[in-house]
Structures are given as C-alpha cells and as structure tokens.
Amino acid sequence: MTSFRTDYLNPFHAYDEGNLSWLAAAEAEAATMSMVRRAIPYASSLEEANKIVRGNWLQAIEQHHQKYSGKLKIEDILDIGCSVGVSTRFLVDRFSSAKVTGLDLSPYFLAVAQFKEKERAQRMNPISWIHANGESTGLPCKSYDIVSLAYVLHECPRRAIVGLVKEAFRLLRPGGTIALTDNSPKSKILQELSPVLFTLMKSTEPYLDEYYLTDLEDVMKEAGFVNACTLLTDPRHRTVMGTVPR
C-alpha cells in the first residue's frame, strides 16, 4: 500500500498533486484531445482525430474478442483508469448492449466524468462509476467480458503494471479479453522525437522508462493470459490484447 501511495501521489503531468486535483481533472479532456491530435496530425479536427484513434482501438478489441473468446457475448466491460470518461463513453457507444463501468483512483476525475454524463441525454445503458485502485478493485472475480486500460500504463511503475494486469485476469470470465492501449515503443514518430521533446515529456511522466522497458505481452502471459498479441492501432499507439483461457 505504501508503494502504491508513493507512486500515485508523485507529481506528474506538471501537476504537483498528480491526478489528485481539480485542475488536472478540468484539463484532462483537453490533454486527451491533444494526445490524439499528435497521433493523427492530418485529421481535419480534434473530433475526427479522436474518432480515428478510438475507432481503431475499438475495432482491434472487437476483432480479438470475436477471434478468441469462443463467442463469449460482451455483456460487462470494465474501463480501468477511465479518467474523465472519454474512453468509457467510446466503449459504451460501440458496445451499446453491454453494461459499462468506469473505474479510477482519482475522485476528481470521476466527478468530472459523472458531471459530463449528466449533461447529455440519458442512455439506455447508463455508465457506472467506481472509485477504486485498479490493482485491487474488490469487485467479484469472473464478472467482466472485456477489461480495458487505455493510456494508463505509461503513468505506472512496472510494479503497478503487473498488479493491474493480474487484477484484470482475476476479473475476466473465461474467454474474456484484456486490452491495453498506450504509447508504442515501436512507433517511428516516438522513436524519432527530438531529444529535447523526449526529455520534456519524461520530466512530466516519471514512469515512462519503466513503461517502455516492460514487455507487456510477457506480463500478460505471466498473469495467465493466452493469445497475447500487439497491433499498432495508430502511428503512435499500440493495443496489446490477450484472452483468459476458456
């Protein structure tokens, strides 16, 4: 618990309190949009860039699940590290018959996520929001068909990455799919980033080196997942997926 507290309370993204602040919560959606903009610079708008990045990620998850789940219906989805709910809203829009839950460690981010949902027309399948640590959620085992972690792991030390993947394994049903999407170490754009920009990025992302040095497919296999595979889902990001054995 002590190490988790120290990791999470470290200053990053240039906020002294990391993700535990209203300012970080207020600016999180803008930060997400600038991330997708950098991934798809030719898009005609931020919304289009977001649709491309998220659309490719959702398609990869759907195809992996169809191929390996043994026709396990997608009824329950958990979005760990949902932040202010951008990834969660894309998941619920794509898998519209599923019950989707967003989970995050920051109550500030969750408050913004809930506020944004209240502003829109009510959904047939409203999103549930949970404040918890994704490494030990306390949720019942084998209760989800898809567990997604989008842009979470580059913010985590290796210890937390391993803990999050193990918890996802516990939470998924046999045939269930884990999907980790984040920066790709094989991205030509990221590899060719100027040293000044890379140093600047590292100054606000304390665990970036640990993230890049962690083999996510190996972590998945060690947790018990099979069919581990990685797709470059846009020029900057990869989606690493695996299946719980049936």
Ligand X SMILES: C[S@@+](CC[C@H](N)C(=O)[O-])C[C@H]1O[C@@H](n2cnc3c(N)ncnc32)[C@H](O)[C@@H]1O
Tokens of 156: 């985590």
85 within 8 A of 103, measured Cβ to Cβ: no
Q: How far is CA 128 from CA 78, 113, 212, in A?
A: 9, 10, 32
- Residue closest to ligand X, measured at CB: 81
| One residue of 12, 19, 50, 207 binding ligand X per CB under 6 A | 19
110 within 8 A of 129, measured Cβ to Cβ: yes
19 within 8 A of 31, measured Cβ to Cβ: no
Per-residue mark of binding to ligand X, 126-165 (x: CB under 6 A): -------xxx--------------xxx--xx---x-----
| One residue of 49, 61, 105, 179 binding ligand X per CB under 6 A | 105
Smallest gap from residue 64 Cβ to ligand X (A): 18
Q: What whole-number distance in Å separates Cα of residue 25 and Cα of residue 104? A: 12
Smallest gap from residue 18 Cβ to ligand X (A): 8
Q: Which among 37-45, 78-86, 195-203, 232-240 is the span making contact with ligand X, rule CB under 6 A?
A: 78-86
Q: How far is CA 163 from CA 183, 188, 200, 222, in A?
A: 19, 29, 28, 11
| One residue of 80, 112, 241, 244 binding ligand X per CB under 6 A | 80
* Site residues, ligand X (CB under 6 A): 19, 32, 80-83, 86-87, 104-106, 109, 133-135, 150-152, 155-156, 160
